[in-house]
Structures are given as C-alpha cells and as structure tokens.
Amino acid sequence: MRAMQIIEWGKPLEFRDYPTPEPKGEEVLVRVESAGVCHSDVHIWDGYFDMGDGKKITLEQRGVKLPFTMGHEIAGEVVALGPDAKGVEVGKRYAVYPWIGCGQCAVCKKGEELLCMTPRTLGTRTSGGYGSHVIVPNARYCVDYGNVSQALAATYTCSGITAFSALKKIRPNVGVDDHFLIIGAGGVGGQAVHIAPAYLKGKMLVADIDAQKRAHARQMGAVGTIDNAAADAAQQVMQASGGGVAGAIDFVGSPKTMEFGISALRKGGKLVMVGLYGGAMPVPTVMFPFKMMTIEGSYVGTLQDLKELLDLGKAGKVPPIPIETRGADRATESLADLKTGGKVRGRVVMTH
C-alpha cells in the first residue's frame, strides 16, 4: 500500500510504501477510493491546536507519532475481512465512520463513541484515508451509501454529520411556524444549508458575511438572509422572524458570532455551538433565566447520525455540495488551499 504521510509537522507530505496490512479478528480492510480533505487536517498537519492566549495542545502530547497518515473522511471498497468480521461483503463499497471509541466502555456501549475517553479515530489517532488502504476495527463502521455519490458519502462522515448532528439538536425546538438561523454558510455550515430543508420543519434564515453564500442559501430554500457584519444584524433577524428564532447554529464559533446567535434567539430558544474559530466572551448570567435559553456544544456526530443522513441522501432529499476531485499526490496543495482559505468551493476529495 501507499500512504501520503506527514513526515515532519507542517512540511510537505510524502508518499511512503508499506506492506498492505492484513485484517485480524473483527477488522476489515478497505481500499480507499475517496478521502475528503477536512479543515481539521490542516491543524493536525501543523502538529498543534491553538487554545488561545498562546496556549497550544500538540498532537505529540495526544500520542500521535510521525510518520502519520491523516484522512478521516473515507469511502471505498472492502477488500479483505478478518476471520471474525461479519456484516460486510468483499467487493462492496461503503462509507467509513471514523469517530471510533474503545468499544468497551459505558458510552461506547450506548453508541456514543464520540464521548469515549480512549478514542481510536481513523486519520486523527490511527492511520486514515490519505493511505490507499485502511484497517477498520469492526464492520459496523462500514455504512452502505447506496445511490449517493461516493465522494459525497465520504464527506458525510465528518462535515456532513457535523452539520446533521447540530441540526438534530435544534430539531425539537423548531416547529413548522418557527424560524431557525444558520450562522456561517461555508464548509460545514454549507452542508447544513443543504440538509436543513429536508430535515427541519421550520423556516430557514442564513447569516453570512459573503453575499455569494447568502445568494446560494436563498437558492437552497432560505426564506431570508442576513449579512452578520451589518451593525443591525440582530434586529434584521428579529424582523425576519417576528421576534427571534427558536433555534440557531453557530458554524463559525467566534465571540462575535456567538453574541449574534444569542441575541437572535427568542425566549426558550437554543443556540448550538459548532465552529472552532476560538476566543472567549462573557454572557450575562440573567440571560439564561430571562430568556430561558439553552446553549449547547456539538462535535461531529454518531454512527446513527451517519446512517440517518445517508438515508436522507439516498431518498434524494439533500442537494449535493460541490466537490472537487484531486489525486492524493495533491494532498499538500489541498491542505495549503484550505489554510489560505477562499480557494476551495465545497470540498476536496482525493482519490488514490
């Protein structure tokens, strides 16, 4: 097998050849045909996450050793099964759920592997889809994507379920006459704009500082769009929604967008925080009781979320996001394009 690897943090990735691994026990070997390039790969490539105030968490502190193979948005063909692997067929194609826990602890047994304290996430902890082959610990993480395009199905394993699981968290709040607000309509927020009309009953409002993204959101079914750089952005939401939204999702995650999200809520509203922009902001404590509001964090999604999102996709209810296919030899260029920003519309999905 061949893997496009980080040899040195932040330096161009390089191809290395390795013996193709053999699946043991319940493991499954997948030949990777589609590997999405996610913005979080840029941080892994750098070798650290910025925690603000000059604080950093390094990947080495988390136990990641070089050379390392990234790639957590994977779809491909099952090519070999361990002796105890059941539930998938050799020669069939699947999207691979990457957010894998230990499989043994209380949260893993409930299907909430995201909350596991000893994760085995593909492409962030163990070798991922920037390699031509990936070992998946169990067949249950391989999900049939049916008639959904393979590259799109790959993006659903991270950016798709990140959007979907945030929408799920506001779904009970949003009735047919209610408005909901999506803040930030690029990347993951862009996925949400595509999924929301098929999944939520209420009326969609979308805030973005980019006029093109606002125009696209209206095409996707937004009843109103707001330039959240405008001084009166919160009043515009109040006006468009008749007194505030029942649910809002912040796909940016800056102090400014969070403040905007809170001020857009009506009484009893819920704000879900997804974006990892970073920073801090004070919230008046009395706002919680007076507004009876909820603020909740959301991070990627569960295996069940991936299945439900793919079901919506298979039913033809979710318009696909734009996808640019590139060879794995363009991994470094693709990461650099994401780092600079503005160069990728939708998602880059690499092929081997």
The angle that helices 233-241 and 255-264 make with each other, rounded to 10 degrees, is 30
Minimum CB distance to Zn ion smaller for 108 or for 262: 108
Minimum CB distance to Zn ion smaller for 38 or for 206: 38
Please report whether residue 137 would count as binding Zn ion according to CB under 5 A. no
Measure the CA–CA gap between 352 and 341, rounded to whole angstroms: 24
**Paired sense of beta strands 55-58 and 48-52, if any:** antiparallel
User: At closest approach, how far in Å is the CB of 109 from Zn ion?
Assistant: 8
* Candidate list 1, 75, 116, 306; residue touching Zn ion; CB under 5 A: 116
Please report whether residue 223 would count as binding Zn ion according to CB under 5 A. no
Please give the residues from 96 up to 115 whose contact with Zn ion meets the rule CB under 5 A.
101-102, 105, 108
The distance of Cα 230 from the centroid of its chain, to the nearest Å, equals: 28
Please report whether residue 38 would count as binding Zn ion according to CB under 5 A. yes
Q: By CB under 5 A, which span of 30-38, 167-175, 181-189, 214-222 interacts with Zn ion?
A: 30-38
Please report whether residue 158 would count as binding Zn ion according to CB under 5 A. yes
Strand partners, 17: 2
Please report whether residue 185 would count as binding Zn ion according to CB under 5 A. no
Minimum CB distance to Zn ion smaller for 101 or for 202: 101
Measure the CA–CA gap between 282 and 305, rounded to whole angstroms: 32
Residue 95: name the closest of 311, 331, 346 by CA: 311
Residue 336: name the closest of 5, 74, 13 by CA: 13
Please report whether residue 155 would count as binding Zn ion according to CB under 5 A. no
Please report whether residue 40 would count as binding Zn ion according to CB under 5 A. yes
In one letter, which amino acid is 79?
V
**Paired sense of beta strands 179-183 and 133-136, if any:** unpaired
Minimum CB distance to Zn ion smaller for 125 or for 266: 125
Q: Note the residues at the interface with Zn ion (CB under 5 A).
A: 38, 40, 101-102, 105, 108, 116, 158
